[in-house]
């Protein structure tokens, strides 16, 4: 049994399928494509292939499969070229179907390959990490990193479906589950005070009875935001709100070479920096900052940098952020816990002070 949630984007609309044990549903989608004469190929990573090999086989059968190294460093131009070559060797055409099975790295990379190969082919997402389930698999943002910055090259390319199988989290390492919780906390902070209060009462764990409900809740929030501002063009608010904590977090990832921190770990420290910036702007008080940090820490995430990073390098990385407009940074700030807004014209000294308070020097 599974439930669905529709992302309404006109001709680009698609369904999110939620359940436990969706192998047959994914396999049926693949066999339906093949029965129509369409080629199918799969991109995944080594960790998933090792931990969930049987599930992958059940879902994708004998479809050609490219297994890439795990980790953020895979989201690069070189590995993108490998995916393009894989698609070409297997003679995929514009009617073919690419299956992205993995975490956010695989979804972003394979999604961008689908967006750009033959100027665009269909793909579906099978997210296998908490972070990918609640965030990156939904909304059609695809791309890769450059040494100069995070996600600087990419395309909007909506999937044709997303299969969110909670059972796949059973082999997810604790550190990866915690990293996904950074995005769940983000959703609570940016616009769902009830969710944030639930996380305050008790940490969410793989054993929590409401895990599936929380995943769906986050997806529903993102779906509604994406529907209103698919390509992040709103002058204020809109899809940019989903970047709460990410301007700081992406800078941490870039400066540390996309390896020392998982994406969610960097975002967690970024959420704490964003809370401190919001305090400096007069929106929230010290008590609210402490509440943010307490929830982050309760979910085994860093509230500050593990070791000091050079502030000038972090500031330079922020200056290459995608949210820069007319040469100025826009930050997502908290007007209250559960209420966020975008804000330009922030005094750089305040952002730098917030970064110092989480460990920059």
Q: Do residues 328 and 257 share a domain?
A: yes
Dihedrals φ, ψ of 62, to 5°?
-100, 20
User: Does some domain include residue 182?
Assistant: no
The pLDDT of residue 95: 97
Which residues face 330 on adjacent strands?
A: 344
Q: Do residues 9 and 139 share a domain?
A: yes
Q: Do residues 67 and 157 share a domain?
A: yes
CATH code of residue 326: 1.20.1090.10
pLDDT at 108 over 80: yes
Q: Do residues 95 and 233 share a domain?
A: no
User: Does some domain include residue 212?
Assistant: no
Distance of alpha carbon 251 from alpha carbon 243, whole angstroms:
13
User: Does some domain include residue 78?
Assistant: yes
3-state DSSP assignment of residue 340? strand
Which residues face 144 on adjacent strands?
A: 153
3-state DSSP assignment of residue 357? helix
Quote the tokens at residue 321.
């952020």
Q: What is the mean pLDDT of residues 328-348?
A: 94
Quote the tokens at residue 296.
């982050």
The pLDDT of residue 148: 87
Distance of alpha carbon 108 from alpha carbon 115, whole angstroms:
10
User: Does some domain include residue 116?
Assistant: yes
Q: Do residues 14 and 128 share a domain?
A: yes
3-state DSSP assignment of residue 37? coil
User: Does some domain include residue 194?
Assistant: no
Distance of alpha carbon 188 from alpha carbon 221, whole angstroms:
10
pLDDT at 344 over 70: yes
Distance of alpha carbon 198 from alpha carbon 130, whole angstroms:
17
Q: How many residues does the chain have?
A: 361
Q: What is the mean pLDDT of residues 219-238?
A: 95
SS3 content of the chain, % helix, strand, coil (to 5): 50, 20, 30
pLDDT at 92 over 70: yes
Structural domain containing residue 280: 229-357
Q: Do residues 116 and 31 share a domain?
A: yes
Q: Do residues 156 and 45 share a domain?
A: yes
Provide the annotated active-site residues: 119, 141, 183, 222, 232, 239, 243, 246, 250, 263
User: Does some domain include residue 204?
Assistant: no
Q: Which of 122, 143, 171 is the last residue of a domain?
A: 171
pLDDT at 322 over 80: no
Q: Which of 171, 186, 211 is the last residue of a domain?
A: 171
3-state DSSP assignment of residue 322? coil
Residues 6+ apart with CB under 8 A from 71: 105, 258, 259
Reported as a single tens digit per residue, the pLDDT across 135-145 is 999 999 999 99
The number of domains in the chain is: 2
Q: What is the mean pLDDT of residues 154-167?
A: 98
Band of residue 235 on the pLDDT scale cut at 50, 70, 90: confident
Q: What is the pTM of this model?
A: 0.96
Residue closest to 121 by CA, chosen among 135, 142, 103: 142
CATH code of residue 10: 3.40.50.1970
Q: What is the mean pLDDT of residues 23-50?
A: 97
Q: Do residues 103 and 36 share a domain?
A: yes
Dihedrals φ, ψ of 43, to 5°?
-120, 130
Distance of alpha carbon 72 from alpha carbon 101, whole angstroms:
15
Q: Do residues 79 and 9 share a domain?
A: yes
Q: Which of 171, 187, 219 is the last residue of a domain?
A: 171
CA neighbours closer than 13 Å in the CB half-sphere of residue 273: 34
Q: Do residues 273 and 153 share a domain?
A: no
Least confident segment among 27-31, 130-134, 327-331: 327-331
Q: Do residues 236 and 165 share a domain?
A: no
Distance of alpha carbon 99 from alpha carbon 357, whole angstroms:
42
pLDDT at 327 over 70: no
Quote the tokens at residue 341.
């807004």
Q: Three-state secondary structure along 226-286?
A: HHHCCCCCCCCCHHHHHHCCHHHHHHHHHHCCCCCCCHHHHHHHHHHHHHHHHHHCCCCCH
Q: What is the mean pLDDT of residues 315-344?
A: 87
What string of DSSP letters covers 64-127?
A: -EEEEPPSGGGSSHHHHHHHHHHHHHTT--TT-EEEEEESHHHHHHHHHHHHHGGG---EEEEE
Reported as a single tens digit per residue, the pLDDT across 287-311 is 999 999 999 999 999 999 999 999 9
The pLDDT of residue 134: 98
Quote the tokens at residue 78.
């070189």
Query: Please, are residues 254 and 317 in contact by the beta-carbon 8 Å criterion?
Result: yes
The pLDDT of residue 48: 96
User: Does some domain include residue 285?
Assistant: yes
Reported as a single tens digit per residue, the pLDDT across 70-80 is 999 999 999 99
Q: Do residues 273 and 132 share a domain?
A: no
Kindly report the average pLDDT of the chain as a whole number.
Answer: 96
User: Does some domain include residue 150?
Assistant: yes
């Amino acid at each position: 049994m599974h439930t669905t949630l529709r992302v309404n984007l006109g001709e680009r609309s698609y369904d999110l399928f939620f359940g436990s044990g969706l192998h047959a549903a994914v396999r049926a989608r693949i066999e339906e494509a093949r029965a129509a004469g369409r080629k199918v190929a799969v991109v995944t990573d080594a960790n998933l292939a090792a931990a969930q090999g049987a599930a992958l086989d059940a879902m994708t059968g004998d479809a050609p499969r490219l297994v890439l190294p795990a980790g953020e460093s895979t989201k690069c131009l070189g590995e993108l070229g490998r995916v393009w070559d894989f698609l070409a060797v297997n003679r995929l055409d514009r009617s073919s179907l690419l299956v992205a099975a993995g975490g956010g790295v695989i979804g972003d990379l394979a999604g961008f390959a689908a967006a750009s190969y033959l100027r665009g082919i269909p793909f579906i997402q099978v997210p296998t990490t908490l972070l990918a389930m609640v965030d990156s698999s939904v909304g059609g943002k695809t791309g890769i990193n450059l040494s100069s910055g995070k996600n600087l090259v990419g395309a909007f390319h909506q999937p044709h479906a997303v299969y969110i199988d909670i059972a796949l989290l059973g082999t997810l390492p604790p550190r990866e589950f915690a990293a996904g919780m950074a995005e769940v906390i983000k959703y609570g902070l940016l616009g769902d005070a009830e969710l944030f209060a639930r996380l305050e009462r008790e940490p969410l764990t793989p054993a929590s009875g409401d895990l599936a409900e929380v995943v769906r809740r986050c997806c529903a929030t993102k779906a509604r935001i994406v529907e209103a501002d698919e390509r992040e063009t709103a002058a204020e608010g809109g899809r940019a709100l989903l970047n709460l904590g990410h301007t700081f977090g992406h800078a941490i990832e870039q400066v540390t070479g996309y390896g020392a921190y998982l994406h969610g770990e960097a975002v967690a420290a970024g959420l704490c920096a964003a809370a401190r910036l919001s305090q400096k702007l007069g929106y929230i008080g010290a008590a609210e900052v402490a509440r943010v940090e307490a929830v982050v820490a309760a979910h085994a995430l860093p509230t500050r940098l593990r070791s000091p990073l050079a502030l000038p390098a972090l500031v330079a990385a922020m200056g290459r952020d995608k949210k820069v407009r007319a040469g100025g940074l826009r930050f997502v700030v908290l007007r209250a816990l559960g209420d966020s807004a975008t804000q330009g014209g922030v005094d750089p000294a305040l952002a730098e002070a917030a970064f110092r308070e989480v460990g920059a020097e």
